[in-house]
Amino acid sequence: MKLLFSFLIFGLSYLFAQEQAPMINLSVAAVDQPAQFVRTINIAIILALLVLAPTLLLMVTSFTRIVIVFSLLRQALGLQQTPPTQIIISLALIMTVFIMEPYAKKSWETGIKPYMEEKIGYEEALKNGIDPFKQFMIKNTREADLALFYRIKKEENPKNIEDVSITILMPAFIVSELRTAFEIGFLIFLPFLVIDIIVSSILMSLGMMMLPPVMISLPIKIIFFIVIDGWALIIGNLAQSFK
């Protein structure tokens, strides 16, 4: 993924932007110069970020909403293992890359690329690299959820968007994404629930109580989903649901 690759290049470029490439070993020795200690701490921080990068990228992107909606769609259809979980995850990742590409590109052009060209410093590059994702998260976060975490942390509400802390924005964004995903899932469930009710009523009126309704409703729901071009409908509306 380009975004993960960008973070990797950003971290490695910071390490090797010094006069000499740092040497890593497991021995314990006294530090001769303060710069050596700072370089060692930076290496440890960047390695920790690289380990957490996949999780962080999933938590600040559109992945959460998409994968939950696809999972609820599978349950609404009454399909247990179709599509397989691997397919759902892969489709959600592809959709995430598609939706987040403009933000990743802006992060690369304003933060990572200028830093690699030694045009800006480390702190400015980090801020410029985070800002596009921060803007995406703020656009898709409810004010009530953001205020909730400010109350939990007992801090005053920010006066403007620039003052919103990323540590408070991330959990608020995830809660908002979960709520939105369940709202979309509820709307997806409704037509399939109507089909189940109709099929069950018809079978009971015909006295076929021993025939499982799912055996009749499942193919009807599948053909209904095909007729309305369900995948294109859901994927298109999902992509447009992000502000």
Instruction: List, for residues 78-97, the tens digit of each pLDDT value.
Output: 887 788 888 888 888 889 88
Residue in this structure with the two tokens 């397919």, named with its chain if needed: 87
Instruction: List, for residues 48-57, the tens digit of each pLDDT value.
Output: 666 776 777 7
3-state secondary structure of 38: helix
pTM over 0.95: no
List Cβ neighbours of 132 (8 Å cut-off, separation of 6 or more). Answer: 102, 103, 104, 106, 107, 110
To 10 degrees, what angle do helices 143-152 and 166-205 make? 120
Instruction: List, for residues 15-51, the tens digit of each pLDDT value.
Output: 444 444 444 444 444 445 555 545 566 666 667 666 7
216 pLDDT tier (thresholds 50, 70, 90) = confident
The rounded mean pLDDT for the chain is 77
Averaged pLDDT for residues 182-192: 90
Task: Enumerate the domain spans of the chain.
Answer: 2-22+32-177
Quick one: pLDDT at residue 49? Answer: 65
Q: What is the greatest pairwise CA distance in the chain?
A: 89
DSSP 59-104: HTSSHHHHHHHHHHHHHHHT-SSSS-HHHHHHHHHHHHHHHHHHHH
The whole-angstrom separation of Cα 168 and Cα 161 is 12
